[in-house]
Amino acid sequence: MSFITCLRAGLCACLVTSAATAWSSTIQLSLAAGNMTGLSQFINQILDKTPEIQAAHSAIEAAQARLQGAGLPIYNPELELEGEKREGADHYDYGIGLSQTIDLHDKRSMQERAAQAELAATQSALNALRQTKAVELLDAMVRILNSKEITSLTKRCFQLLERFQTLAEKRHSAGDIPLIEVELTRLAVAEAAMTHALAGGQLVEAKGDFFTLAGKLPPKRLHLPASLPTYPPAEYSRE
């Protein structure tokens, strides 16, 4: 059996080992991930500190204040005080009056409806923003976990191929295999190194995306539930 055949057998063994490791990691992740409640709390804690979310909450508070103001009467009653001294009299005659403008066109109700619509729009915008940010955060977390696993697997394959290269160089020095087979092993090692570097770059990129969204690096022990809900999340309401 040629050394290239041995190399192919080694690559197959590497893939089998990698698949077994990935399956084992998946099982461990499923057991240690926790539940959706913990994940929701983790995401909400991050989102509550996001500047965009905080600005959306401020917009809701402003809309609530405008709604409260819209419920007040448009026209306030006016108190009038008059004093008059008649000709030849030695005293003043005073009069007090109260006037009230009537809202014939029901402008107050129209203002309330407009303020309610504005409040509903700002609340919907907040819910949409939270869902968008939550999806982006989950995507970054999934890519981090996948990139970690891929980086680990490509590292093992690279190390295995390095051992094949060392063995090939020894066998070539002993005259057992031609130089072409040594060069092929070197090429395979270079390709494995490139694959490992690309996987590492994807991991760095995923962590950077998480940092941009969360404002901090992801936890070292990052976990996700074994399954995520297929139904749309309920609207978020801040107490």
**pLDDT tens across 134-190, in order?**
999 989 998 999 999 999 999 999 999 999 889 989 988 988 888 998 899 899 899
Is-above-0.75 flag for pTM?
A: no
Category of 215 on φ-ψ map: left (φ > 0), alpha (ψ -120 to 50) or beta:
left
Q: Which single residue is written with the structure tokens 């978020």? A: 236
- Residues 200 and 209: beta-carbon distance below 8 Å: no
High-pLDDT (> 70) share of the chain, %: 62
Domain extent listing, the chain: 7-72+108-214
Q: Yes or no: say if 148 and 196 are a contact pair by the CB < 8 Å rule.
A: no
Rounded distance, CA 69 to CA 72, Å? 6
Residue among 237, 135, 143 nearest 199 (CA): 143
The angle formed by the CA atoms of residues 186, 176 and 15, to the nearest 5 degrees, is: 45
